[in-house]
A and B are shown apart, each in its own frame.
Chain A
């Protein structure tokens, strides 16, 4: 099975090269992308199903070099479930973008860059080497720089520039941290680092923990490092916003979970700081969302707010907390992607995503209303949806660790999430537009939009509902993932001392 581990990284890169070769024929590009991403989804599922047989972790050493020397590729339960979720999102949004037209139709670069983004996302999840994580992040981010400014409209250039510069500052800081880490430990293999960091003085260890938190905090959109996010995401094309909202920040969260848990001893981890940051991220994000009056901007602020819940789960550093954080993360990837996809449908059907300029869509496009309502209720945490299971498990873990204050903040924030989802609902689906829309509304037929867009959105909504139906096995899976993560020996032994 370990041969399969490299496929999610290599296959999309080869496909991207092929896609450039056939850039004149859009249908050939589409076929390449769909086949590649479809195959990746299958491979991810195969890897995850195989995890239980291979002791919960699959390791491959690139080039056959043993661990601290070569680059290790590792799939454990955490990266496995993230791989499956992101493969599904990448495929869904690809189909959506084909239906959307827009940049996918006008720009020959869309498909190759999208595949590079997929490779970067997969590589970030699979790598067991900190420098390789930097390279994977760069691969993902460079692709995202191109995607966010694609089309070159004024607004996209302006907001894209903010995004690019902030991400670059974070990346540069990452390189500095890597240099310091290498200078003090002499390794950048994560399993090897875990043992060697523990030998450093406490203060130095804490410095590394905080620096890595700052680096990934910018990517994940933690308070107070999130300000670039709600500014830049809404300006991009609808499919691009959907995939960014679903994946990029959550890959940052994944990196935070991975580095904080694996690299640092329990007494060095900045747990109380993380709790405060989590509470502030939740609260500031949701207050920001309430102040907005544009669907995409409201949802973008909610990305920030939701990140707070994941960090809250992580900050407890208990099995229940980390399991809840993992469950929350993959569930939120599905919900956020779906919601931004429906906002693209609203924009197309109504000509605007501004609340004042849209209205009455429940009559003109009832199906879009349904596709929005299901994930929106789930995001707000209403039973019986998957979002409820995720929120409840976070609350439960918080109560278990007696963090009453943060639990109280989390409960209040989910009420306010409900309020701002209602705001979108009454603005877009009920009533009448108070002002004319800035674009011409397009007739979407009975479905409310092009078939491919509606079908792919519906497929992801169904996936969100599947989380609700299989909540128990999924939660047990994340619990095993959390046990394995917190007992760091599983990972370290699998990488450094492979059984032949």
Chain B
């Protein structure tokens, strides 16, 4: 059974990683969510084999399942949930500002790469680059 769970975690990690490497913010957010699920799943498996009695006061039960990983997973799930909401908020704001959710290259880097001696943030030029990047993103 642990093998199956580990396999599911592996699928989640690979899908999450692929989504994380996309250019669209919405996909990145889904990717982060999937990665978080994979990590939480691993936390649950780290408690050992399934099928043992939960930690309750039962007569005649000698072997309990380890409650700690479950508590840890619960904490991690809450944190993942909160962060996903925050990410969606930031993503929404990005869409409000740009009407687009493509993650852009840093302009400063591109200018440095071309070794422009002049001050890079000449407003028109930046604006033109940005518009072009957005255009490419839309296509």
Within 8 Å by CB of A161, from B25, B43, B83, lies B25
Residue of B36, B42, B45, B47 with most chain A CB atoms under a 10 A cut-off: B42
Q: In the complex, which residue of chain B has the Cβ closest to the Cβ of A149?
A: B90
B57 → chain A closest CB, angstroms = 18
A409 within 8 A of B: no
Contact A297 B20 (CB under 8 A): no
Contact A158 B94 (CB under 8 A): yes
Known: A135-B79, A172-B35, A182-B72. A161 touches B90 (CB 8 A): yes
Proximity bits, A127-145, B CB within 8 Å = 1, else 0: 0000100110010001001
Give the interface size bracket for A toward B: 35 or more
B12 → chain A closest CB, angstroms = 11
Contact B39 A172 (CB under 8 A): yes
Bound form: Cα–Cα A142–B83 in Å:
7
In the bound complex, residues from chain A placing their C-beta under 8 Å from that of B90 are 145, 149, 157, 160-161, 164
B132 within 8 A of A: no
Proximity bits, B41-69, A CB within 8 Å = 1, else 0: 01101110000000000000000000011
A435 within 8 A of B: yes
In the bound complex, residues from chain A placing their C-beta under 8 Å from that of B79 are 135, 138
A146 within 8 A of B: yes
Contact A158 B112 (CB under 8 A): no
In the bound complex, residues from chain B placing their C-beta under 8 Å from that of A142 are 82-83, 86
In the bound complex, residues from chain A placing their C-beta under 8 Å from that of B43 are 175, 178-179, 182
Contact B69 A182 (CB under 8 A): yes
Contact A152 B119 (CB under 8 A): no
Q: In the complex, which residue of chain A has the Cβ closest to the Cβ of B2?
A: A183
* B-to-A contact residues, CB < 8 Å: 20, 25, 28, 32, 35-36, 38-40, 42-43, 45-47, 68-69, 72, 75-76, 79, 82-83, 86-87, 90-91, 93-94, 97-98, 103-104, 106, 108-109, 112, 119-121
Q: Which 5 pairs from chain A and chain B are nearest by CB?
A: A183-B46, A175-B39, A179-B42, A179-B46, A182-B46
* A-to-B contact residues, CB < 8 Å: 131, 134-135, 138, 142, 145-146, 149, 152-154, 157-162, 164-165, 168-169, 172-173, 175-176, 178-180, 182-183, 188, 231, 291-294, 297, 354, 356-357, 434-435, 438
